[in-house]
Amino acid sequence: MHHDRTVTERRVARVLDLRLRPAVYRESLPLDIAVWKVPGEPVPVSEGIGAPYEPVRTGTPWGPAWTTTWFRISGTVPTDWAGQRIEAVLDLGFGATQPGFSAEGLVYGPDGDPVKALNPRNAWLPIAECAEGGEEFVYYIEAAANPVIFDSGSGGDPFVPTRAGDVPSWLRGETAPETPLYRLTRMDLAVFDTTVWELVQDLDVLSGLMHQLPEDSSRRWQLVHAVDHALDLIDLQDIAGTAERAREALAPALAAPAHAGAHRVSAVGHAHIDTAWLWPVRETVRKAARTVSNVTALMDDHPGFRFVMSQAQQLAWLKEQRPEVFARVAEKVRTGQFIPTGSLWIEPDTNLSGGESLVRQFVHGKRFYLEEFGVETEDMWLPDTFGYNAALPQLMKLAGIKWFLTQKISWNATNSFPHHTFWWEGIDGTRIFSHFPPVDSYNGDLSGADIGHTERNFRDKGPANRSLVPFGYGDGGGGPTREMLARARRLEDLEGSARVEMEGPAEFFTKAQEEYADAPVWSGELYLELHRGTLTSQLATKQGNRRSEHLLREAELWSATAALRTGLPYPYELLDRVWKTVLLHQFHDILPGTSIAWVHREAEAVYAETARELSEVIDSAQRALAAFGAEGTAHAIVFNAAPHTRDGIPALGASLRERGARPVEPSAVQGGGFVLDNGLVRVTVDTRGLITSAYDLSAGREALAPGRAGNLLQLHQDFPNQWDAWDVDTFYRNTVRDLAEADEVVAVPGGIRVVRSFNASHITQVLRLDEGSRRLDIETDVDWQEREKILKAAFPLDVRALESSAEIPFGHVRRHTHTNTSWDSARFEICAHRYLHVEEPGWGAALVNDSSYGHDVTRDVRSDGGTTTTVRLSLLRAPVFPDPDCDRGAHRLRYGLVIGVGLQDAVREGYRFNLPERAVPGGAPVEPLVLLADEATADVVIETVKLADDRSGRVIVRLYESAGGRARITLRTGFPLAGVHITDLLERELADEPTPGVEGRDIDLSLRPFQILTLCLTPAE
C-alpha cells in the first residue's frame, strides 16, 4: 500500500482549522450589548459598572487609541440548552495579532470581581458548567483600545514609524481623537462541546509531534496512520456525533509511553509582562490584572498548574490598586500554584543600571515576597534583557540567590552560546548555577514545535537531560491558556516526545543541579550580540537615571550623617518611595530607550520630580550639618560625596575651602587656535576646534596619535536591519562624516568654545582644563535634529592597548581591542559606565562621562610602527521606531579625556565627574561617618553609606575592591563604635562570615579581588 504522509499532514491542518475548531461551539445566539465610553483615563471598576450604558450591536466601531470602553453584556440561557456547558464568545475585534499587542479586555461580574481576561487567543467566558436553562446573567467588560504599534504577523515590516505611541491628545490638553480602532466582531452565547474540544487537543498534539519526528521514523508513520484513521471516522456534517469515536481511535497513540531516556522538560507557566514598552506604565497595571485573573481562574480548574510571576512591582501595583486580584494571588501562593520568582523589583536592564541600583532591585524584590507571602526566592529570573554584567553572580549570592535563568542570549547574531546549563562565574570568582531554556523563547506554547526544538537544541546532551520551558503568551501579558495545559497533560508521557512535567523553577533547578553538578563554567559578562543601540538611545532617559542614582547616593549619605550628628530625622519613607520609582524606570524597555514616546516623556517628568525631591533632602541635610556647632562668621562649606578626597575636601565629608581649583585660561597660538596648559598637561586646539595635541608634561609624551585629532565628532548613517531603537549594525561604520569644520572657535573665560552646525543640528562645546587636573572637560550642548544617525566622539590615542577596562557595577571588565575571534569582533559596541581606560605598561588614558554608556575601541598599527588605539564615545542616536522623535531636541552632556593616568585614577575621576561638590553656607566642617584610613593607597571604594532599613539607627556601609586585586584596609568611623558585623544585601547578618577586627573606631578588613562587602555598624550610646 502506498501512502503519502504529506497528504495526511495537510488534511489534518485543514480539518482542524476549518471544521473542528469552529465546531467547538455548536450552537450560538447573540448577546444583548450596551456601551459606555470613558471620557479620559481609565476609571475605577465601580464607576465603570455604574455608568450610563447605551445599547449597541456587533459591528459597532469602538475605541480611539489609548481610550477605555466599557461593555455590558447580558442574556438568558435557553431552556433547551439545559445540562450543557455554556460559554460566551467575546471577540472585541482583536484581529490576528498576538495577545497583549492590540485590544484587550477584563470581564467583571455585577459585584465588581474580575472573572477573566479577553485577548486574541482567549476570547471565551464561562457562563454555566451544567446549565439549567432560563438563567439570566450580566457581565461587564473593561476594554482597552491599545493601538497595534508592532505587528509581526502581518507579513510587512513590523518596525514602521508611527505616531500611535505619542502621549494621547487629551493628556496634552487637546481634544481627544474620534477615530475608533476596533469593531465588535462577535458577542455570542454558545454551547461548548467538550468532546469536540478534547478531540481538537488530541489532534493538535499528535499532529504537532508528527511533524517533529524524523521522516523515516516508525513512530511518525504510526501517528500518520492513527490520525488518518481518526479523520476518516469524523462525519464533517455531524462532528458532534462522531467526535467520540475519533477520540477512541486516537487513544492508543496517546497512551504509548515515552522511552526511558526521553528528555525531561519542566513546564513553567509564565507571562512576561513588559513593565512598559509599546504601552505606558499605567496600562501595565491593567495587563497584570488581566493576566493574573486568567491564570488564577485556570488554577481553579487545573490543580497541577504552576505559574511564576517575576516582578514584585507588578504585584505591588495589584495590592495597591486591585486588592481583589491580589487576594487571588495570595490564595494561590498558599496552594503552591502561584510562585513568586525572580527576586527583583522589576526585570531591569543590567548593562545600564548602576551597582547600588541592582542591589536595591534585589532588596526590594525579595523583601516584598518575604513580607507579603513569606517566600524567600532563590532564583534570578531575567529572560528578556539586553546583556548581563559580570558582577551579577556575586550580587546574586549576596542576595541569597542560588540559580539564574535567562533566554535572551539565544538571540546572538554572530555566535551561538555553547551551553544551556552551566556555572556562570563573575569577576570576583562567584559562581551561580544557570540555565538558558533551549526552547529559545520565554513565550512558549508547548506545541510540538516547541518541545521538538527544545530536545534537538539542548547543547548539554549526555551529561544532562533536563531543561525548562516557560510557557504562556507574554511581552504584553496574557499567560497560559487551557489549550496549553491540555498539551502539557498529553505530553507527560508520550512516545516520541520529551516528557513534560508541570513544576516550578526551584524543582527544576534542584533536579538539574543534582544531575549536572559539574556543568561547564562561563567566566565573565554575558554579552548579547544584538541590541547594542540600547546603550545610547533616549539620552534624556539615561541622563535621568544616572543623575537619580547619584542623587540617591548623596541623599542617603548626607541624611545618615545629619541623623547621627544633628538628630535630623532620616527620610525613610521618601527614600523608599524614590528608590522604587528609580528602579521601576530601569526596566529593560525604559532605561534602554526602546519604548514608545509616551513612556519616555513620562519618564523625563518623573526624573525631574525625583531630582527636585532629592535635591531638597540633600540641601536640608547639608544645611543642618554645616550649621551644627558653627560659631562666628558663616563661610562656604564644601561637601564632597565622592569616595575620594579632592582639593583638600575629605571623601564623604565637608570642610571650609577658601579657593578651589579653577580652570586655566586659554592662550592664543600663532597662526590660530588656543592652548590650555596647567603644568601637568598641555592641550592644543586648532582653528577647526579639534584637539591636535594632548601632551603629558610629566611623562614627556603625546597622548594623541601622530597626525590625528582628538574630540573629532563623527556622524554615521544608522539604519539597522531591524529593531531600530535597539540595534546598531556593524555596517554603520561603512559611512562616516567627520564634523571637522567649525562655525566658531573662540576663547571664553576659563575655556575654549567651539560651535559646529550640520544639516539642521548645532553643537556648542566648551573645553576646560582645571588647575592641578589631568582631565580635560568637554561640556556639550546639542540641538539634535537628525534622523537615523549616530553621533560619536573619537579620541585616537598613541598607546598600544591590548585591552580596554570598562567600568561595570562594582568593578570593571577587560575586553580585547583586537578582533582575533568572532566573539571579539562581535563586541564592536561595548558598555562602560563612568569610565573607560586604556593603557600600555607605564602610561594610560581614560574617557569619563556623565550620561553615556555606548563606546567602541579599535586598534591600528601605523606605518611608523606605532599603534593607535581609538576610543570613541557614543553620544546620540536618532532611530524612528518605536518613537519617531527619539532624541530629537536639545541636550546637555559632559565627557572628559584624562591624560596619563592608571586605572585607579580612572575610577576616581569617574566618581568625581558624576558627583560635583556642593557649597553650603555654614561654619562647621563635617567629619565623614566613615573613611579609609589608607585611602591614598587603597583600591577600595565606599559605595554606600545609609541608615539601616530596620530603623534601628545602625549605619550600613557598602564597599568594594575596584582594581581586581587583594586589599587590606582600615575603615575608620567618625562615631564611637559599639559593634560591627557583615551582612547580606538585605542587611541580614551573615553567620559564616568572620567578625572583622575592631580597635576603637578602626575596623580591619581584607577583601578579595572585586569583593563587595556590606557592613552594619552599631554606634555606641
Active-site residue set: 384
Residue 474 and residue 291: Cα distance in Å, rounded?
Answer: 9
Using CA atoms, how far residue 80 sits from 86, 187, 466, 571, 651, in Å, is 12, 20, 51, 67, 83
What pairs with residue 665 in β-bridges?
none
User: Using CA atoms, how far apart are residues 690 and 705, in angstroms rounded to an integer?
Assistant: 13
Q: Which residues have CB under 8 Å from 445's CB, separation 6+?
A: 471, 472, 473, 484, 487
If one counts every other C-beta atom within 10 angstroms of the C-beta of residue 163, the result is 13
Q: Please report the beta strands in 122-177, taking only residues with DSSP state E, as ranges in sequence order.
A: 124-128, 136-144
CB of 148 closer than 8 Å to CB of 100: no
C-alpha 969, offset from chain centre: 36
Q: Which residues contact 860 (CB under 8 A, 6 or more apart)?
A: 867, 868, 870
DSSP letter for 948, please: -
Please state whether beta strands 25-30 and 186-192 pair in parallel, antiparallel, or not at all (unpaired). Answer: antiparallel
Closest CA to 641 of 659, 622, 657: 622
Contact 78, 69 (CB under 8 A): no
What amino acid is encoded at 456 in this protein?
Answer: R
Q: How far apart are CA 913 and CA 895, in angstroms?
A: 8
Query: Which DSSP string do the residues of 957-1004 spell out, in sequence order?
Result: EEEEE-SSS-EEEEEEESS-EEEEEEE-TTS-B-TTSPPPEEETTEEE
Assign 3-class secondary structure to 554-594.
Answer: HHHHHHHHHHHHHCCCCCHHHHHHHHHHHHHCCECCCCCCC
Instruction: Evaluate whether 715 touches 786 at the Cβ level (below 8 Å).
Output: yes
Cis peptide before 650 (omega within 30 of 0): no
What's the sign of the alpha-carbon dihedral 580, 585, 586, 587?
positive
**CB environment 662-692: b (16+ within 10 A), e (fewer):** ebbebeeeeeebbbbbbebbbbbbbebbbbb
Beta pairing, strands 338-344 & 307-311? parallel
- Distances 845 to 32, 444, 788, 805, 939 between C-alpha atoms, Å: 74, 48, 31, 11, 18
- The helix/strand count (H/E) of the chain reads as 19, 53
Residue 822 · residue 730 · CB < 8 Å: no
